[in-house]
Structure 1
């Protein structure tokens, strides 16, 4: 196997994740660890109604110091003990991203209990499965809808004895109930937690079958976040002496957001929570919070780019934007070559053009994210090289990484100051990456989990002497940067015996502004075809620009000019593969794949089997012509 490793930058940490809350409060009690949104009718105090973090309007942010956070965590931990939660108990959390989730995480860790995240969009059967398998004794929900979902399956969960509702002031009620519990009882249980203790059970996205619960330890998290803080601390803010700040809008049910939460608490990063991340909510919140860096998925920046391009075209500045985009890409490419030791950087003429477009275009993009963001840690799906270059040229470097639930988020990332766009970087400090003979990516390190809950066979199939077989296909280049080329289980084999990893081809089609999603099909078929959905806002803009007035969704898709535009996107994607691997036919669908349909995972990955079953008739038509 072709192997590559990076030495660790942080020593293994003893104890549990909650320890840092009490240590920071002792050493730096006035340090602002969180900012809570104060827009809306509710105050910023703990457990007040729907919670300020659920409001996405522009407004002020109320500080939460290290001492206050410690007191709130301790008070809630005592309340949990008063209600019978004990060391090792599993407690489910079903909510959007909000401050109270973080509060419950650290309160549960303070008494050695184990949080089990559940996506708030989960169906009743999914909730039943997770709560039954983990034997959760209690469940925290955000609102009445979530309570009804859990209530619908309670009869099948005899071990579940409590349901606490955030918008019914459960934090305040539990804290009051724990008033007579001595602090020492919490500390006694907290100090019994070791690095080897299970910190959480996080379920995989389930793209290829029923989700499995990953047992992640306190040591897995500290190995991950302490090395990330040591290796990328310089990108969190570009101003000496300034406290880094980040707004968290990723779902806390996902391992990536949980890693961000833990890193912020351990690293002294001011953190805000936002329950939604649609543009109408996210942009005003970013403007008022003004983060110094962000953690995000590529989707956010795809939408930001498309919106900026449409706005420029609507204002008659489309040509200006196109020239600015080209300059940004050239600028970033020159800087990339210099950072990797292959060039001297941008020349004088390019520097002049870049400065001019910075004033005209790039500053506006940065202002949309609050004005202070210069770096973004990006993961969860593939980021196109061109998009990464564009944003780097516009003054915001996207550091793409790669990881799984099983690796406690990132196992590779582009190094600070030396990103190679289009790759997912090098092993993070303390991690190793290897490419097996069949092209599968194997990884090893302190952040790699110990196994799946109640699935010893799956654990044995995935772990081999400390190495995790990821199921992803990839390659290491001469500089040690990893590129992911597809999923091993998602290989398409045509009737002629041609093998194809569809992810890269799908990503190329999806890079067109009109395309929202693309699913390549072709197993046991004579050629490769694709199902394509369109971005509604981009389609509306295209229709207005081309003076189209569709009667309904289907009439819009029947437009010959629209088909020709998508055909160009498909043809451009086909240039990267052989004829046998190219898309020969495609079908436009009237609606995007959604989580509610069961066609996407909660982290927005395609559920291939579900989509091909749902659109079986459309696929048959692709091959019957």
Structure 2
């Protein structure tokens, strides 16, 4: 199968813009709990914000922006973590026809300089003085920046006071002039393979995806009788996070914000807010599983936990086979073991998310099949999806009630997928952007007769489910002419609790090798569990045990590919790839070319110590393995 399309499910936005939903909801349901904010006095408590209250705040801030010189078409950058004011500023800006330019709060001066100049940004909102200093460093002769507002200096209150000299009619006049085809946001790509590009996203683009998801998947957001609620922690500077915000405001889902995504901050927030649904990326699901495993280890129940995980995967596989007509479902013995572990283990995993989440969505990168099965077996069905900045978020998603693990689903209703002869995924639909921003700040098309070439490789199964196999630019071609897609191997390695990042290399080399980094928190926990007084002097040292653990992880990953595609040697690096070093994008994607350049010496050493394709003797294999150079 090379083509598939799905009929539209939701009507397109025919008039107005994104801000209209705020005013419409307030007019029809003024007391409706639209958002929730942390209680300043009791951090574990949340205060609801009604639709009328939020409408009034948006209106007041919109008047302030007008009074300070913002006009329709003005581009305003927003450099902040995921917080209430992000949502407030974006809707106030859309209410007067302004254009939002999201910026990651961790962006460097060079990255910010590129965005400010490329998008011709006139004003910017920052959180704190450190970000303000980054803005100052980024401004050069090309900068068009005229205003800077700082959240921790109470800029919302000051703008609101300034806006009192204007009337609400001034805002409504501009809001009614906004049309679906107007630009809502200029969202920059992550720039994994080059300079970030500004994607022109219209009000209609964002509305199409959000309305379609709510129309088709709205019933999954909460159990019957429960009010849907969501804790947003993904960065709103990423199109995925921005889509989540708009979907909540358009779909009537109570929205709360969590700025800090470290485990120590995110998990307590989930426990106190108790959302009914979860939007996340694979990394978050991996962290949740790792935290549950650590708790089990500390309680001396590691074997029970591992057995429960095995049962969860087998149980979910059996249910999936039954749904697809290829199996009879779980047998009575498996059902009994699953019921036992549900009380002992799975319920504890659900409690980490607040206890009410039964359905979630994963995006940003494909979710490993085994991880999806594990969560499904634990009582949380994860709907994996696929999209790009250019598609305003999702372009494919698992159909309701018909999840096929290991795929990213079928085209979003109203969209189509085509596979080119070389396997590249092409897409089109109402969610596909208006084009790229050119050097003069105007939009230039990146489309071919309405089709977007995504740069991703994949295939469609017999039922039209899309499987992403890698990035076209990431394909490794060894000196033997073998083409290797590194993504699958890297995902499998990173599924190990100790492994944080992995880059598979091998272009123009005789075989494939890997650079691996370890998760500092997991590593500390691993060492803590192995701290024993005294000990056998003949026993392996902790460093040798660690190398052995990583070797086993590499061997397990290798089992999923052919011998020619397997990792023959690896090097564990002393620290993680970081954004500060220019090796990771703000959305946590690896900059492969930069990593290969930075660690060229280490890569050369991997191959220099293995001129032969295989170590010839058992003694060589042991010596190489001890050095982390031999995987299997």
TM range (shorter): over 0.9
1:579 alignment partner in structure 2: 563
Pairwise CA distance, 1:39: 4.0
- Corresponding residue to 1:105 among 74, 79, 90: 90
1:557 & 1:382 partners in 2: Cα distance?
A: 37
- Corresponding residue to 1:476 among 460, 467, 473: 460
2:382 alignment partner in structure 1: 398
Note if 1:449 corresponds to 2:450: no
1:7 alignment partner in structure 2: 7
The C-alpha deviation readout for 1:408-448, integer Å capped at 9, x for no partner, is 11111111211111111111111111111100011111000
1:21 alignment partner in structure 2: 22
Query: Would you say the 8 A contact 2:366–2:385 is kept in 1?
Result: no
2:340 alignment partner in structure 1: 356
SS in 1 for 2:30: coil
The 1:313/1:332 distance shift into structure 2, 3 A limit, reads same
Pairwise CA distance, 1:467: 0.7
Unaligned segments of structure 2, at least 5 residues: 534-539, 610-632
**Root mean square deviation, CA, Å:** 1.9
Note if 1:370 corresponds to 2:371: no
1:173 alignment partner in structure 2: 158
Q: TM-score, normalised by structure 1?
A: 0.93
SS in 1 for 2:436: coil
1:134 & 1:588 partners in 2: Cα distance?
A: 40
**Structure 1 runs (4+) greater than 6 angstroms displaced:** 458-461
1:155 & 1:4 partners in 2: Cα distance?
A: 48
Query: Would you say the 8 A contact 2:435–2:445 is kept in 1?
Result: no
Pairwise CA distance, 1:309: 1.5
Note if 1:191 corresponds to 2:167: no
SS in 2 for 1:246: strand
Task: Identify which range, 308-317 or 130-139, moves more after superposition.
Answer: 308-317
Pairwise CA distance, 1:153: 2.9
SS in 1 for 2:437: coil
Task: Identify which range, 561-570 or 591-600, moves more after superposition.
Answer: 561-570
2:268 & 2:543 partners in 1: Cα distance?
A: 36
1:624 & 1:164 partners in 2: Cα distance?
A: 54
Count how many residue pairs are aligned between Structure 1 and Structure 2. 602
1:47 alignment partner in structure 2: none
Unaligned segments of structure 1, at least 5 residues: 41-56, 550-555
Task: Identify which range, 57-66 or 112-121, moves more after superposition.
Answer: 57-66
The C-alpha deviation readout for 1:232-276, integer Å capped at 9, x for no partner, is 111100123x22000000111011111000000000000000101
- Corresponding residue to 1:208 among 193, 200, 213: 193
Query: Would you say the 8 A contact 2:116–2:144 is kept in 1?
Result: no
1:619 & 1:126 partners in 2: Cα distance?
A: 28
2:451 alignment partner in structure 1: 467
The C-alpha deviation readout for 1:147-176, integer Å capped at 9, x for no partner, is 111122334355211100011111111111
Pairwise CA distance, 1:455: 6.0
1:312 alignment partner in structure 2: 296
Query: Would you say the 8 A contact 1:208–1:607 is kept in 2?
Result: yes
- Corresponding residue to 2:99 among 114, 120, 129: 114
SS in 1 for 2:116: helix
SS in 1 for 2:248: helix
Note if 1:622 corresponds to 2:622: no
Query: Would you say the 8 A contact 1:434–1:443 is kept in 2?
Result: yes
2:495 & 2:284 partners in 1: Cα distance?
A: 13
Task: Identify which range, 519-528 or 260-269, moves more after superposition.
Answer: 519-528
SS in 2 for 1:288: helix
Query: Would you say the 8 A contact 1:557–1:590 is kept in 2?
Result: no
Pairwise CA distance, 1:133: 1.1
SS in 2 for 1:219: helix
Query: Would you say the 8 A contact 1:557–1:588 is kept in 2?
Result: no
Q: TM-score, normalised by structure 2?
A: 0.92
1:544 & 1:108 partners in 2: Cα distance?
A: 50
Query: Would you say the 8 A contact 1:197–1:218 is kept in 2?
Result: yes
1:488 & 1:427 partners in 2: Cα distance?
A: 20
